[in-house]
Amino acid sequence: MFNRVLVANRGEIAVRVFRTLRALNIASVAVHTSSDDLHVRHADEALQVPKYLDMGAIVAAAVASGAQAVHPGYGFLAENAEFARLCAEAGLVFIGPPAQAIDAMGDKIRAKATVSAAGVPVVPGTAESLETWSDFPALIKPSAGGGGKGMIVVRSAAELPTALESARRTALNAFGDDTLLIERYIDSPRHIEIQIMADTHGNVIHLGERECSLQRRHQKIIEEAPSPFVDEDMRAKMGAAAVEAARAVGYVGAGTVEFIVDGTTGSYHFMEMNTRLQVEHPVTELVTGLDLVELQLRVAAGELLPIGQDEVRLRGHAVEARVYAEDPARGFLPTGGRVRLLREPGGVRVDSGLAEGGVVGSEFDPMLSKVVAWAPERGDALRVLDRALRETVVLGVTTNIPFLRALAVHPAVRTGELDTGLVERFLPELVGSAETPQDVVTAAALVFHAVPRGADPWEITDGWRVGEPAWTTWRLESRDGVHAVRVRGLPEVSAEVDSGPATITWSSEGVTVTVAGRTTHYAAARDGETLWLGRDGQSWAFTRHLIGDPGDRPGAAGGGDGVVRSPMPGTVLVVKAQQGDRVAEGQPLLIVEAMKMEHTITAPRDGVVTELAVKVGQPVDMDAVLAVVQEEGP
Using CB under 6 A as the binding rule, whether residue 218 contacts ligand ADP is answered as yes
123 binds ligand ADP (CB under 6 A): yes
Q: How far is the CB of 88 from ligand ADP (least distance, A)?
A: 26
* Least gap, CB of 218 to ligand ADP (angstroms): 4
**133 lines the binding site for ligand ADP (CB under 6 A):** no
Nearer to ligand ADP, 159 or 536 (CB): 159
Which 345-364 positions form the footprint of ligand ADP (CB under 6 A)?
none
Binding mask 22-51 for ligand ADP (x = CB under 6 A): ------------------------------
Spatial neighbors of 399 by CB under 8 A, at least 6 apart, are 323, 324, 325, 326, 335, 368, 539
Closer Cβ to ligand ADP, 184 or 544, answer by number:
184
Helix H segments across 214-288?
Answer: 232-248, 281-288
Measure the CA–CA gap between 495 and 502, rounded to whole angstroms: 5
Longest dimension (CA), the chain: 84
Taking CB under 6 A as the rule, does residue 112 contact ligand ADP? no
- φ, ψ at 555 (rounded to 5°): 85, -10
Beta pairing partners, 7? 30, 71
Residue showing the smallest CB distance to ligand ADP in the complex:
186
Query: What is the footprint of ligand ADP within residues 365-424 (CB under 6 A)?
Result: 420
Eight-state DSSP code of residue 552: G
Q: Considering only the stretches 70-78, 138-146, 380-388, 569-577, report the one whose residues sit in contact with ligand ADP under the rule CB under 6 A.
A: 138-146
Contact yes or no for 443/533 (Cβ under 8 A): yes
- Considering the complex, what minimum distance in angstroms separates the CB of residue 153 from ligand ADP? 8
Nearer to ligand ADP, 183 or 477 (CB): 183
Of 170 and 530, CB closest to ligand ADP = 170
> Using CB under 6 A, which of 146, 316, 551, 558 touches ligand ADP?
146
Distance CA 535, CA 368 (A): 19
Strand segments, DSSP code E, in 361-499 are 367-375, 393-395, 472-478, 481-490, 494-497
Q: Which one of the spans 177-185, 227-235, 247-255, 484-492 is the region binding ligand ADP (CB under 6 A)? A: 177-185
Q: Is residue 491 a contact point for ligand ADP (CB under 6 A)?
A: no
Cα–Cα separations (whole angstroms), residue 626 to 383, 575, 577, 611: 43, 10, 11, 8
Contacts (Cβ under 8 Å, ≥6 apart) of 415: none
Contact between 183 and ligand ADP (CB under 6 A)?
yes
Residue 140 interacts with ligand ADP (CB under 6 A): yes or no: no
Determine if 230 is a binding residue for ligand ADP (CB under 6 A). Answer: no
73 binds ligand ADP (CB under 6 A): no
User: Helix, strand or coil for residue 301?
Assistant: coil
Q: What is the dihedral of CA 546, 551, 553, 555, to 10 degrees?
A: 120
The sign one gets for the Cα dihedral 198, 201, 202, 203 is: negative
Q: Does 148 engage in binding with ligand ADP (CB under 6 A)?
A: yes
Please report whether residue 222 would count as binding ligand ADP according to CB under 6 A: no
Q: Are 397 and 479 in contact (CB under 8 A)?
A: no
Distance CA 422, CA 418 (A): 7
Nearer to ligand ADP, 348 or 422 (CB): 422
Contact between 181 and ligand ADP (CB under 6 A)?
Answer: no
Q: Which stretch binds ligand ADP (CB under 6 A): 182-190, 371-379, 438-446, 604-612?
A: 182-190
> What CA–CA distance (Å, rounded) separates 552 from 561?
11
Q: Which of residues 561-620 bind ligand ADP (CB under 6 A)?
A: none
Q: Say whether residue 272 binds ligand ADP (CB under 6 A).
A: yes
Stretch touching ligand ADP by CB under 6 A, among 11-19, 42-50, 140-148, 389-397: 140-148
Binding window for ligand ADP (CB under 6 A); candidates: 180-188, 349-357, 465-473, 584-592: 180-188
The CB-of-271 to ligand ADP minimum distance in angstroms stands at 5
Binding mask 437-476 for ligand ADP (x = CB under 6 A): ----------------------------------------
Question: Any contact of residue 186 with ligand ADP (CB under 6 A)?
Answer: yes
Q: Is 139 in the site for ligand ADP (CB under 6 A)?
A: yes
Separation CA 548–CA 475 (nearest Å): 11
Residues in CB range of 468: below 8 A, 6 or more apart: 488, 489, 490
Burial letters 380-405, b for 16+ CB under 10 A, else e:
ebbbbbbbbbbbbbbbbbbbbbbbbb
Distance CA 139, CA 129 (A): 15
Binding status of residue 259 toward ligand ADP by CB under 6 A: no
Binding ligand ADP (rule: CB under 6 A), the pick from 29, 163, 252, 260 is 260
Distance, first Cα to last Cα, the chain: 79
Q: How far apart, in whole angstroms, are the C-alpha atoms of residue 90 and residue 328?
A: 45
Shortest reach from residue 246's CB to ligand ADP, in Å:
17
Residues that bind ligand ADP (CB under 6 A): 123, 139, 145-149, 183-186, 189, 191, 218, 258, 260, 271-272, 420
